[in-house]
Chains A and B, each alone.
Chain A
Amino acid sequence: DSGVTQTPKHLITATGQRVTLRCSPRSGDLSVYWYQQSLDQGLQFLIQYYNGEERAKGNILERFSAQQFPDLHSELNLSSLELGDSALYFCASSVFGGTSYEQYFGPGTRLTVT
């Protein structure tokens, strides 16, 4: 158990809809990262938050947005969903600023868009 929790585990929704994925980082971790893993793809970095502020952006679509709240949990919002958004979405956390670059991953949310 990494200490990172994600809800829900599975989500099935229709095209055009909007969903919110939730992540709680490990206790003490200030950084949260979101990744997308599509079929046959590696983990694609989407976005990073550190202590409530956006820190880095990767291949995140404009239809997607995220935020990190004062209690450090994070939400990833996906809107105007398309079939191609079906994927596993992982959240990870780390202690940013130290010498450790390891990220600790949650179990993921499997999103199916029909």
Chain B
Amino acid sequence: DQQVKQNSPSLSVQEGRISILNCDYTNSMFDYFLWYKKYPAEGPTFLISISSIKDKNEDGRFTVFLNKSAKHLSLHIVPSQPGDSAVYFCAASIRGYSTLTFGKGTMLLVSP
């Protein structure tokens, strides 16, 4: 039973446009969410996070939106750059527990 779902295995976007990556979760106990980026032959790297007390968190070109009622979060990348091409993993945790539950990832391809 997947508690964190990324339903789009891949996404293609042109350079300069917006990339929107989506993530849904089923466990209402989750209250902290993170996005990780992974390049081939490397481990995932932390990108941005959001606590359930917020509905938006922004860091440069990256913004994460959280809709608790829909149990949905999204990562917006504006403007997208070819260097953003990677696999993006959504992860969730329960405050007080440090373990993370990951989705299967979405491969983003940004073409020039």
The chain A residues found within 8 Å of chain B, CB to CB, are 2, 4, 31, 33, 35, 40-45, 48, 55-56, 58, 90, 92, 94, 96, 101-108
Contact = CB atoms under 8 A, between A and B. Distances in A.
B101 A96 contact: no
Nearest to A100: B49
Contacts of A56: 97-99
A42 B103 contact: yes
19 contacts: A31-B98, A40-B104, A42-B4, A42-B6, A42-B89, A42-B104, A42-B105, A43-B89, A43-B91, A44-B102, A45-B99, A45-B101, A101-B32, A101-B49, A101-B93, A101-B95, A102-B49, A103-B46, A103-B100
A102 B34 contact: yes
Nearest to A44: B102
Contact of A108 (B34, B43, B103): B43
Nearest to B2: A42
Contact of A90 (B44, B91, B97, B103): B44
Contact of A94 (B49, B98, B101): B98
Give chain B's interface residue range (CB within 8 Å of chain A): 20 to 34
Most central of B36, B99, B102, B104 by chain A CB within 10 Å: B99
Contacts, number: 62
Given A42-B6, A105-B45, 19 more contacts: A4-B43, A33-B100, A45-B101, A45-B102, A48-B98, A56-B97, A56-B99, A90-B43, A94-B98, A101-B32, A101-B93, A101-B98, A101-B100, A105-B36, A105-B43, A106-B43, A107-B41, A107-B43, A108-B43
A98 to B, nearest CB: 10
Interface string B37-78: 000011111100100000000000000000000000000000
